[in-house]
Amino acid sequence: MTDKKTKPIGFFDSGVGGLSVLARFKNVLPNEKTIYFGDTLHLPYGNKSKKELIGYAKNILNFMEQKEVKAVVIACNTSSAQAYDSIKNEFEFPIYPIIQSCASGVSKLGIQRVGIFATEATVNSHKYADELIKQNPNIKVKEIPSKNWVGIVENNIPNIDEAKANIKYEIEEMMKFNPDKIILGCTHYPYLMNEFVKYAPKEIFIDPAEIFVEYIKNNLEKKGLLNNEPSNSQTQEEFYVTSSPDAFLKNAKIFYEIKNAPALVSN
């Protein structure tokens, strides 16, 4: 019987955004085998209904179950906000949702005014605000849905005038709230950092991936699931998408270098 510790860990997102989490994870835990699933057929998740998002998450988790993963990382804020609560008890393996896993780490930063940029579906759920207020009832939160940003990242067009103007407008709106920190509440957004820093200081932005990966590492360790056998993780990774493998391969580079085109699966 294969040791559970050496089984892969699943990651999923609507597209390349979750690779910002995977990249950090690989740096911290290079021994782990990984399976990344980009649900590109249903991208963007940000304008989908709760029912649709629960359906996508279930299908992906069933796929991961067949792959015999030891855990799944929801490297997508939208799915964490809208689907996690409905599916969390349906699977035997641990499931790590980005928002809920990061809230206590963020609140430990001792900040009082928090801005959150996220997709429409994440903002509508108010999951981030709820989780932060649970940790610190005095915290003041402002959530702004940045509807165009996932498209800007997936099409790799941060330099066109329309994209620049939109980013400028949204950041300036957020700065009126006078936040101590601004959470990038969508795993696609760290790619836009070069634009963000034109309108706000770099230190104000939080990419929750760092806190998230630390949380996953500690939790896997507690559960005795960390893989201690040294291995070359680059040769131990698989990628799957639900449409356009070539576009994914090309665009993935913004976060993580993938060697081979991902496999196309119907899900």
φ and ψ at residue 179, rounded to 5 degrees: -75, 150
Number of residues that bind ligand DGL (CB under 6 A): 16
Segment (H or E) for 251: helix 245-252
Quick one: tokens of 89?
């008890």
Q: Closest by alpha carbon to 79, among 141, 37, 121?
A: 121
The residue within the footprint of ligand DGL, chosen from 188, 192, 208, 255 (CB under 6 A), is 188
Nearer to ligand DGL, 154 or 195 (CB): 154
By CB under 6 A, tell whether 127 contacts ligand DGL.
no
By CB under 6 A, tell whether 26 contacts ligand DGL.
no
Query: Could you write out the three-class secondary structure of 150-183?
Result: HHHHHCCCCCCHHHHHHHHHHHHHHHCCCCCEEE
The single residue of 171, 186, 192, 220 carrying the catalytic annotation is: 186
Rounded Cα–Cα distance for residues 208 and 211 (Å)? 5
Nearer to ligand DGL, 8 or 44 (CB): 44
Nearer to ligand DGL, 216 or 225 (CB): 216
By CB under 6 A, tell whether 186 contacts ligand DGL.
yes
Amino acid at 222: K
The residue within the footprint of ligand DGL, chosen from 78, 82, 125, 146 (CB under 6 A), is 78
By CB under 6 A, tell whether 46 contacts ligand DGL.
yes
3-class SS at 66? Answer: helix
The residue within the footprint of ligand DGL, chosen from 34, 119, 242, 251 (CB under 6 A), is 119
C-beta of residue 266 within 8 angstroms of C-beta of residue 240: no
Rounded Cα–Cα distance for residues 66 and 82 (Å)? 24
By CB under 6 A, tell whether 179 contacts ligand DGL.
no
By CB under 6 A, tell whether 13 contacts ligand DGL.
yes
The distance of closest approach from Cβ of residue 171 to ligand DGL in the complex, given in angstroms and rounded to an integer, is: 18
Half-sphere exposure of 4 (CA within 13 A, CB side): 10
The answer to whether 186 is a known catalytic residue is yes
Nearer to ligand DGL, 45 or 248 (CB): 45
For the beta carbon of residue 24, count every other beta carbon within 10 angstroms: 20
Nearer to ligand DGL, 49 or 112 (CB): 49
The distance of closest approach from Cβ of residue 126 to ligand DGL in the complex, given in angstroms and rounded to an integer, is: 14
By CB under 6 A, tell whether 97 contacts ligand DGL.
no
The single residue of 76, 98, 116, 225 carrying the catalytic annotation is: 76
By CB under 6 A, tell whether 102 contacts ligand DGL.
no
Strands (E), 22-106: 34-38, 71-74, 95-97
Quick one: tokens of 258?
């993938």
C-beta of residue 101 within 8 angstroms of C-beta of residue 215: yes
**Which stretches of the chain bind ligand DGL, using CB under 6 A?**
13-14, 17, 43-46, 76-78, 119, 122, 150, 186-188
State the catalytic residues.
76, 186
